[in-house]
Chains A and B, each alone.
Chain A
Amino acid sequence: MNLCEIGRELERRYDGLVRVVQENPDLVVEVAREKLLEVCRFLKDTPDFEFNFLIFITAVDRVDYLEVVYCLRSMSNFRQIMLKVQVPADNPEVPSLTGIWPAAGFDERETYDLLGVRFSGHPDLTRILLPDDWEGHPLRKSYPVDKRPVRTY
């Protein structure tokens, strides 16, 4: 089974809720928010797929909405796949993957910190890179790159 077939297999299984958006150079699949956990478990546990390694989690600010991106790797079949979940910009919330991969912990905190995506079910969703009393989420497109806080030292 090659990468394109994996994408088509996913589309067939979750009809209408999963959509392949890019096949080259990397396979990118868009997943509905409510199916994310199910798709991840399926990808991890199905013998032919075995996407057992979480590479990273991040998000992209598309101004109208946010895209949360998950990159998974199958270490037995040498493949990688990217999952995308669209969430509204005013209420960005997705389920946390910490129950499936503990590796998701820091990445989800970072995404919360820099982009303001909330991960429901995360054990410790606090700011990780910026101070706790920071205002705003710098990687949003509306945040100017040189907006610095008033000095407090």
Chain B
Amino acid sequence: MGVDDRWKGYHETDPGPLGNLLTKVADLPGGQVLVGAADALVDWGRKCSIWPLTFGLACCAIEMMSTGASRYDIDRFGSGVFRPSPRHADVMLVAGTITYKMAPRVRRLYEQMPAPKWVIAYGNCACSGGPFNTYSVVQGMDEIAPVDVYIPGCPPRPEALLYGLMKLQDKIMAESLTRKGVPVLEPVRDRQGA
């Protein structure tokens, strides 16, 4: 299997003003250290408060709710603040089956989230369509937007979500401000105008 390059370069189009500044700083003597320190600080801040978008699509949403509830308590990882508005959210937890009727809205919600943003495909349906190889089901979230963490399972246990979240935190810690920027997107063609 080759590397999936459908979304290659998607996030690397424009590092943004801060990124551009840091890129210049990195060229100065000793600037790398400064950039590294800035990256570590910013990434640490980001990883400790990944706010998810309340976005239950199907069965997995119930396990997502369990993760947010008393026993598993996702708040321990700073991700307990489920935001109904995409403008407040950092990570899109795609929990469930995406259909062709829903796909334009998923795409639009993704676009409405401010950068930096991440996507977790939670459950088999969001990873690859799951058991539903049918006419109305989109075969995986990665056809709509780039996915950072895939969590398989039908539905995955809450522990799996917590593990996936920790993996995402690792990924965030490895990011640099000089690379990740604001993605440039094609406009959405909406089916139903909503």
Contact = CB atoms under 8 A, between A and B. Distances in A.
* A–B in direct contact per CB < 8 Å: yes
Interface of A: 129-133, 138, 143-149, 151-153
B105 to A, nearest CB: 9
A114 to B, nearest CB: 10
- Which secondary structure dominates chain A's binding surface? loop
Nearest to A132: B192
Interface of B: 100-101, 103-104, 106-107, 133-137, 139, 143-144, 188-189, 191-192
Given A146-B133, A152-B191, A153-B189, 18 more contacts: A130-B136, A131-B100, A131-B191, A131-B192, A143-B135, A145-B133, A145-B135, A146-B135, A148-B100, A148-B136, A149-B100, A151-B103, A152-B103, A152-B104, A152-B189, A153-B103, A153-B107, A153-B191
A130 B107 CA distance: 18
B191 A138 contact: no
A148 B104 CA distance: 15
Contacts of A143: 135
A130 B189 contact: no
Contacts of B133: 145-146
Contacts of A132: 191-192
Nearest to A147: B135
A147 B100 CA distance: 12
B191 A133 contact: yes
Nearest to A151: B143
A138 B189 CA distance: 24
Contacts of B134: 145-146
B101 A130 contact: yes
Nearest to B103: A153
Contacts of B104: 152-153
